[in-house]
Structure 1
Amino acid sequence: MKKSRVKQLCAVALAATLGLSVLAGCGSKTSDNKSAATGTDKQELMFNLGSDPKTLDPGLNQSVDGSIVIVNAFEGLYKLDDKNKAVPGQAEKCDVSADGLTYTFHLKKDLKWSNGDPVKASDFEYAWKRVINPETASEYSFQMMYIKGAQEYNTGKGTADQVGIKATDDSTLVVTLAAPCAYFLDLTATPTYMPLDQKIVEANKDWATDAKTLVSNGPFKFTDYKIKDQIVLEKNDNYEAKDDVKLSKVTMKLVTEPTSAWASYKSGQFDMVYDVPTSEKAAAIADKSATVFPELGNAYIDFNVSDKQVDPEAAKALKNPKFRQALSMAIDRQSIIDNVLKAKQVAAHSFVPEGIIGPDGKDFENKKYFDPKGNVDEAKKLLAEAGYPDGKGLPQITLLFNPEGGNADVMQPIQDMWKKIGVNVELQTQEWKVFQDTRTAKNYQIARDAWGADYADPMTFLDLFVSTSPQNNAGYNNPVYDTLISSAKKEADATKRYEMLHQAEDMLMADMPIISLWYSNRTHGVKDYVKGIRKDMLGNIFFTNAYIQGKK
């Protein structure tokens, strides 16, 4: 998910900005950690995660909520430190060949699963090949396509034995890439690359829904999981760095309604909440009952431009670039940020967000593709050019979104802005789990979407829209775009690679299968007695070094 290894892609300044810890007072000092471990405070944290994760299977997960759980229970070969740098996790070290194609990982000694089974190199080989296996149908399999033979196996043109992943003994994993990848070590820190205890997974079809079979190798282990109620993690005494873990228990509640969860937080029932209601953010940030965390991500709207359309008239409009551009131009993003979100987001003017530093030391963002404040007159002009002057002749179109996280507060003003140019859309909601499936199946017309980086490189955003990407919810299909992205993945020259990626974004913004809205951050409610929480730029929250100090 991040990026240090063969080449450093992000500047130290970016890491310092995005690697954030909530350390009130002097909580970052070792002496404070010791007092937390030996003091009178009960080392149990009650956290409202909010949405119920669709899955806790690392190889199938594709959402931030699931990732937050997974990164606290599992650990990959590498992990990210507090500067978002990839450092050894379950691996002791990694040797990289001179040509950048072969990675030899050496595991630490005496690693164990939470059930006491030994963690072996073959657990990584099994888990990674399981993601690639087409029968697994992992929507994150695209993150494995850097590995030699993975594309062929995933598309039925090769076998598992031909994939460049091999455990040569219990402590050595040799990985061969199809082409050099500057951020491969970062990828090994992501949930998709987490290991699995093969005998547990193969013996239990529904292993990821039961705490008894959710065997993990990270700082915490699962002790309870009740869907739509709670996920309970307790300190994993089999974790190799268990002495760094101060909390004895993290209870993640799944209260989906932010207002209800916030009321519980204010009354002291929660120590931390993931979502702060939109109407409460400004005041909460001001009185420091909530904290704004930077993230490398964006919020956007998908147009269904695929052939999977039920209404041919709606499909005709949605596939018209002028129509899509008109709707984008009609949105005043800054107004939404100032009057609705109120949490210091940055209005988007591109798809790749600000904050990714290129080989020239400059931000990848190099142009403004549109005015973030919009332009109603220009939007009306584009709509007329699309064949729908003042919206005349348009069929009924529906904007679909999940209600969790206060999304209705944003979609309603967007609906009003579109109405000003004559485009009337109906708002419709679906529960998060259902919504994800609906969007993936492209059984919608227009839908809310968002993406958080998996690693600090423009590719994590731009390869979403290749025609074969499982995350291409818009159904965008442009062979020239596909070729550009494929070529960029193989290009060793960093400057040339960035030139290709700029061309790809130019193409994406011209075709506009999506409307980019704002660059993300996230406001969490965190009590001042909760110390040592770490939030990375990808949106993950780590409880490994967290502790309670001074709770009344």
Structure 2
Amino acid sequence: MKFRETMTASALALGLALQAQAADVPEGVTLADEQTYTFWLLDAIKSMDPQINTDVEGSDVLRNLFEGLYNEDGNGELVPGVALDHEVSEDGKTYTFNLRDDAKWSNGEPVTANDFVYAWRRLADPATASEYAWYMELMQVENAPEVIAGDKSPEELGIRAVDDHTLEVKITTPLPYFPQMLVHGSTFPVPQAVVEEHGDDWTDAGTLVGNGAYTLVEHQLGERVVMEKNDTYWDADNVVMEKITALTINDVNQALTRYLAGELDRVDIPAGQYPRLKEEYPEQAVSTPYNCSYIYMLNVGEKGPEALKNVNVRKALAYAIDRDIIVDRILQGGQKPSYNWTHWAIADFERPELDWADNMDQAQRVEKAKELLAEAGYGPDNPLDLTLQYNTSEDHKKIAIAASQMLKQIGVNLTLDNYEWKVHTDRMQNQDFDMARYAWCGDYNEASTYLDLMTSYSGHNNGEFYNDAYDKVMKDSKTAEDPQPLYKEAESILAEEMPIIPIYHYANVDMIAEDIEGLPENNVNNTWYGKDLYRTAE
């Protein structure tokens, strides 16, 4: 990767590689008098707390209210956030970050290295009960596993403030992609005094203190989030967009209607409508690869149905689903059929050859599915009854209905259960499901962001797939000079054990208002920042 080469560069060279980024308005462009941006959310945001949030939509908001060590530009390259640059020790295990001295919280207090130390310790502390505590372990931060397990105190985590503007992090294994992991919201600083004074209420509008380009002025749960420009932000002079609003609309078709009426500046395109909208609105309809994979997670743990403990049943379910129909007839937005977990566009990743994907057509897969299900004792005369759970969305419903019809042909009766997002995720975390619609959007552009999720120590392995061989492969990948062959091996284990049913790899399929500029066009993570946006005059 391009940034990997700069890891051994001097701090000066690294500083030159990480040029500051804000709204880049070309010469001659006339800006609109009103600088506002309104975007769509499908579901209510569960938490505004960087160490608690787990949702992609929540991350889009938090990225504007808080700022971590680094940000990403429109091409996915790292640019300075609170950190101006960093140095790496010769053994690749000690990172020293040089922080800017003009970073401030929205209450005017300075942002210091201690704010990061507090946030990272808080993330790993079992008392916080963060689902993302495992991220510290994935980052290989020294003593993270012991702190998360409660065997060591958070103060023993491998992070310390050398002084107010120098942060030192020790990791146990050199990770070339470690800096890329620092754009994730769970690593953002939080103000200790505010958190301790207000407890769980510290994230309320009017109380929340952040260090991002915007402040939270309104949050009506399940309705809207309103953010306004933060004048204490270090680069406020270059922030053009004055106000950002997120509207929660559970029906994507209704959201599209409101976009076409001018109420939204960006919205997902509903399944099947991209070809028509691209023809009618060629400058507004956009489809680009997006670092997310759509699956049905299977509950193979103790609370899961007995049938799903049989690998033949799991394979039969996966084989019987026709991904081409889902992608080509239902979605029609540039998505790709998926037979594995890791997104095809991830940097340096190559999928291994998989017999069921590469050496069978769909008719053969269906016949094999019937055979496997029969071996497990199920079929048309003795159907297997399962429940498929999905969160509220017309698109998820269409895919679920199609999947149920495909599975019926091999002797599986699916009952479809629809829940709003919070209930859906709570049920998954409590293993209260048979099959559940799930999607994972990579936290960074490297295959481990997917593959680590299926380890036994993952905080998101809700299906409770525990496999010693898989764990070993992923642990070995951390110290491998080239982890790619091990990533292929991990994918092969998933294909052999089938704890998840891959459905498709995402594309970002959006309608975007023509006068909105600054959204990323070549970033597979689709990481965007309001501070980079501007609205042009008509």
Q: TM-score, normalised by structure 1?
A: 0.89
Pairing 1:125-524 to 2, within 5 Å after superposition: 125-145=117-137, 146-207=140-201, 209-273=203-267, 275-287=268-280, 288=282, 289-309=284-304, 315-358=305-348, 363-371=349-357, 374=362, 375-390=365-380, 392=382, 394=384, 396-404=385-393, 406-491=395-480, 493-494=481-482, 497-524=483-510
The structure 1 segments of at least 4 consecutive aligned residues displaced by more than 6 Å after TM superposition are: none
Distance 2:176 2:43 in 1: 34
| Number of corresponding residues | 514
1:183-213 per-position Cα deviation (integer Å, ceiling 9, x unaligned): 1111111101100011111111223541112
Q: Deviations over 1:306-359 (max 9, x none)?
A: 0123xxxxx22111111111111111101111110010111112222212343x
CA–CA separation in structure 2 for the residues paired with 1:269 and 1:176: 47
Q: Which runs of 5+ in 2 are unaligned?
A: 8-22
Q: Contact (CA 8 Å) 1:271, 1:530: kept in 2 or not?
A: yes
* CA distance in structure 2 between the aligned counterparts of 1:479 and 1:366, rounded to whole angstroms: 20
Letter in 2 for 1:460: T
Q: Which moved more, 1:206-215 or 1:48-57?
A: 206-215
CA RMSD of aligned residues (A): 2.0
Residue 544 of structure 1 is matched in structure 2 by 531
Question: Which residue, 63, 71, 85 being the options, matches 1:79?
Answer: 71
Q: Distance in 2 between matches of 1:256 and 1:538?
A: 23
3-state SS of the aligned residue for 1:416? helix
1:99-114 matches, cutoff 5 A: 99-114=91-106
Amino acid at match of 2:420: E
8 Å contact 1:364–1:458 — kept in the other structure? no
- For normalisation by structure 2, the TM-score amounts to 0.91
CA offsets 1:512-544 (integer angstroms, 9 cap, x no match): 000111111121221111122226322433222
Preserved CA contact (<8 Å) 1:402 1:431: yes
Map of 1:3-14 to 2, 5 A cutoff? 4-5=3-4
For residue 422 of structure 1, report the CA deviation from its aligned partner: 1.4
Distance between the aligned counterparts of 2:212 and 2:2, measured in 1?
21
Q: What is the letter of the counterpart of residue 466 of structure 1?
A: T
| Alpha-carbon distance, 1:175 to partner | 0.5
Taking the aligned partners of 2:492 and 2:272, their CA distance within structure 1 comes to 36
SS at match of 1:30: coil
Matched, 1:98 2:80: no
| Partner Cα separation in structure 1 for residue 530 and residue 108 of structure 2 | 22
Distance 1:516 1:241 in 2: 42
Deviation at 1:143, TM superposition (A): 1.3
Which residue identity is paired with 2:533? A
- For 2:263 and 2:398, how far apart are their aligned partners in 1? 26
**Letter of the 2:27 counterpart:** S
Is the contact between residue 296 and residue 503 of structure 2 (CA under 8 Å) also seen in structure 1?
yes
**Partner of 1:117 in structure 2?**
109
For 1:30, which of 26, 29, 42 is the aligned residue? 26
The change in CA–CA distance for 1:422 and 1:111 in structure 2 (over 3 A counts) is same
Q: Which of residues 81, 93, 102 is equivalent to 1:89?
A: 81
Deviation string 1:148-200 (CA, Å, 9 cap, x unpaired) is 01111110111222211001211111100011111111111110110001111
Larger deviation, residues 109-118 vs 366-375: 366-375
Residue number in structure 2 paired with 1:14: none
C-alpha displacement at 1:4, in angstroms?
3.2
Displacement of 1:279 in angstroms is: 4.4
Q: 1:59 aligns with which of 37, 47, 51?
A: 51
Cα deviation digits, residues 237-266 of structure 1 (max 9, x gap): 111112221111011111221122211111
Q: CA deviation at 1:498?
A: 2.0
Structure 2 counterpart of 1:234, which letter? E
AA matched with 1:413: A
Deviates more, 1:127-136 or 1:279-288: 279-288
State the AA in 2 paired with 1:106.
Answer: N
What is the SS of the residue equivalent to 2:126?
Answer: coil
Give the aligned residue type for 2:162. Answer: T
- Quote the offset at 1:6 in angstroms: 6.2
Secondary structure of the 1:365 match is coil
- Structure 1, unmatched stretches of 5+, are 9-26, 310-314
Give the AA of the match of 2:322: D
Q: Is the 8 A contact 1:64 1:539 kept in 2?
A: no
| Aligned mates of 2:347, 2:519 — CA distance in 1 | 26
Aligned residue number for residue 20 of structure 1:
none
User: Cα deviation per residue 1:118-144 (whole Å; 9 max; x = unaligned)?
Assistant: 101100000011000011111111111
Secondary structure of the structure 2 residue equivalent to 1:173: strand
The one-letter code sitting in structure 1 at the alignment partner of 2:535 is I
Contact 2:106 2:230 in 1 (8 A): yes
